[in-house]
Amino acid sequence: MRGCALSYEFDFSFLNDYMPELWHGIWLTLGMTIVSIVPGFALGTSCAIGRLYGPPWVQRIVTIYVEGIRNTPLIIQVFWLFFGLAVLQVRVGPFPAAVIALVINVGAYTAEIMRAGFLSIPKGQLEAAACLALKPSQSLWSVQIPQAVERVYPALVSQFVLMMLATSIMSQISAEELTGVAYMIQSFTFRGFEVYLVIAVIYFVMACLLRLTLLGVAQVSFPRRRRLGTPL
Amino acid sequence: MNIAATTPRATEIQSMTRSDTPLVRFHGVRKSFGELEVLKGIDLEVASGEVVALIGRSGSGKSTALRCVNGLERINAGELTVCGRALHGGKVDLRDLRQDVGIVFQSYNLFPHLTVEQNVTLAPRKVHKIGAAEARDLAEQVLAQVGLSEKAKNYPEQLSGGQQQRVAIARSLAMRPKLILFDEVTSALDPELTGEVLRVIAKLAAEGMTMMLVTHEMAFARSVADQVVFMHQGRIWESGKGDMLDDPQTPELRQFVGNGL
């Protein structure tokens, strides 16, 4: 057995032969991630606000949505959406379907993270805003959302990185992202070990880049952090 | 809408000349938290330009009385009129009321993500819709009033407690209120910082600002307040000019003042 392992010769020639496919996979993975972040964040924040401050029926709906999503596998949600829409005669391509599924999925997790952020703001802040005659919406925009985001930013970054890694199942609905491309290459070359090694490195690099980018966004969005180096 | 005109006391209020109308008028005000009645019938009037100090033990109801004035607490019975608005019965437009009534808290409650200047101008910009240039002038003016012009671009965490509290006072002043409430604003500060905050409040008093203060600073109450109100067990036990502290009429106030010295 040992002799066998040692005699294995690595072959990375697929890197040359399948470069366009690999790039295509990378762009698709990055694309569906980046397109999903902003709407996912907006959906999650709205849901957090609804669950905290909305009327009882809104709170109930948001709770059902959040718990439903957080307690079922992403791939089932994706299938359900993709094939469910087909049953309803709604024709949606794999990429939009993947994005919709990601937004719905990450929105539920973001809702819980942001809810924790809102709850961590001292009551005195809300009292001060109300006593300055700010409307509830003005208090939300100017006082609560900025502070909540700042407090939970690292958790949000982790969630979005996780979401990017989770896109690796999207080839199941024929959105040929990076993992889908890897599967295709290894089925042609039978070089599964090398292919998945390379793919893992690519994911790793993309995750680091996404993290760095989101931390850069924080530097721009939180002037206090930029000025004082306040830890996130 | 003139709320006063719809109350039974309309004729009484209208018969008075404007300057005689108290800015704040408590009449038999009661307030309970569940089973616990914390205000058991308060009668109190605050005239325009007057400084009223509420003193008393913890739990005597003084902070609750203060918080009723800007609608942070809703009264259960009696009548409370603030800046011409009835806060008893019916719906009260709190945002409208709070444009006239500022409040400064014990814990400052500055917005930590905003600079001093942004803290001070947030409400005038959002509520009074003033422009950026006007906001800058306003910030300069009110920060000068509390002696912190040079801190406009700093964040609250870069300031001492006393400076933060002065910014909170400036933030209140920026709304041009008719009345400012001070809720134990020096309780979290050491004696030196307490002094710098009290000097700012005394200056505002001298400039004619109407103020209600809940305070434990007896010397300050005696020297600055036009009216000192000693509360005990949810009632006004004794009230009068500052010198009443030198000659308590009730054993409770005698004991309270005695313990404080």
Domain residue ranges in chain A: 4-228
Interchain pair B72, A142: CB under 8 A: no
Interchain pair A228, B123: CB under 8 A: no
Q: Of B72, B107, B111, which has the smallest distance from its Cβ to A143's Cβ?
A: B111
User: Cα–Cα distance between B244 and B227 in angstroms, integer?
Assistant: 9
pLDDT tens, residue by residue, B81-127: 999 999 988 888 999 999 999 999 999 999 999 999 999 999 999 99
3-state secondary structure of A12: coil
Reported as a pLDDT band with limits 50, 70 and 90, residue B19 is low
pTM of the model: 0.87
Kindly tell me if the per-residue pLDDT of B20 is higher than 70: no
Reported as a pLDDT band with limits 50, 70 and 90, residue B16 is very low
Question: What is the DSSP code (8-state) at residue A167?
Answer: G
* Chain A residue whose CA is closest to B158: A228
**How are beta strands B36-46 and B24-33 bridged, if at all?**
antiparallel
Q: Residue B104 pairs with which residues in a beta bridge?
A: B182
Which of B94, B113, B171 should one mutate to test binding to chain A, selecting the residue with the greatest count of A CBs within 10 A?
A: B113
Given this model, what pLDDT does residue B54 score? 97
Contacts of B80 (CB under 8 A, 6+ apart): B24, B25, B26, B27, B29, B68, B69, B86, B87, B88
Interchain pair A147, B111: CB under 8 A: yes
Query: What is the CB-side half-sphere exposure of residue A9 using CA atoms within 13 A?
Result: 2
Given this model, what pLDDT does residue A207 score? 97
Given this model, what pLDDT does residue A63 score? 98
Given this model, what pLDDT does residue B140 score? 96
Reported as a pLDDT band with limits 50, 70 and 90, residue B66 is very high
Best CA proximity match to A214, nearest among A38, A92, A5, A66: A38
| Single-letter amino acid, residue A163 | M
Given this model, what pLDDT does residue A91 score? 85
Q: Of B95, B113, B123, which has the smallest distance from its Cβ to A150's Cβ?
A: B113
Mean pLDDT check: name the lowest of A144-158, B145-159, B246-260: B246-260
CA A225 remoteness from chain centre: 24
Q: Which helix (H) or strand (E) holds B77?
A: strand B77-82
3-state secondary structure of B13: helix
Given this model, what pLDDT does residue B261 score? 47
Name the token pair of B97: 């009321």
Residue spans of alpha helices (H) in A8-93: 14-17, 19-53, 56-70, 74-87
Given this model, what pLDDT does residue A6 score? 65
User: Do the Cβ atoms of B234 and B61 come closer than 8 Å?
Assistant: yes
Kindly tell me if the per-residue pLDDT of B53 is higher than 70: yes
| Single-letter amino acid, residue B254 | R
Mean pLDDT of chain A: 93
- Does CATH number 3.65.10.10 belong to domain A4-228? no
User: Cα–Cα distance between B229 and B176 in angstroms, integer?
Assistant: 26
pLDDT tens, residue by residue, B197-230: 999 999 999 999 999 999 999 999 999 999 999 9
Contacts of A47 (CB under 8 A, 6+ apart): A62, A65, A66, A107, A108, A110, A111, A114
With a cut of 50, which residues of chain A have pLDDT below it?
A: 1, 3
| Distance (Å) from the alpha carbon of A77 to chain B's nearest alpha carbon | 38
3-state secondary structure of B113: coil
Percentage of chain B beyond pLDDT 90 is 84
